[in-house]
Amino acid sequence: LFLMATGITLEFGLSHTDISEVTVKQAMIRSARRVILLADHTCFGHESMIQIAAPTVVHTLIADDALPASWRLELNKLGIEVAPVSM
């Protein structure tokens, strides 16, 4: 599953603003073998209105290279592979 979220924090997890989209995203996560999160650095450290899931559901993160090293370290500690993409 390639997944997008509008907010990502370690405490609240992945979040989004639209309840109907959250419901679909949660169902897709439940049926996926592997979850790949696509997010740019602006999503990190912000909580949107509705929680999608804990960050630990993510196997791989594809993010722009502006993601701070501290975030990469914390995500690696959770077992999430971080794949930065140069912009």
Residue 86 in this model has a pLDDT that exceeds 90? no
| Residue pLDDT, tens place only, 18-77 | 999 999 999 999 999 999 999 999 999 999 999 999 999 999 999 999 999 999 999 999
Phi, psi of 72 (to 5 degrees): -60, -40
Give tens-digit pLDDT for 19-35: 999 999 999 999 999 99
The pLDDT-based confidence of 87 (bands split at 50, 70, 90) is confident
pLDDT value for 4: 97
Could you tell me if 61 and 82 are in contact, meaning their C-beta atoms sit under 8 angstroms apart? Answer: yes
Task: Give the C-alpha separation, 3 to 62, whole Å.
Answer: 10
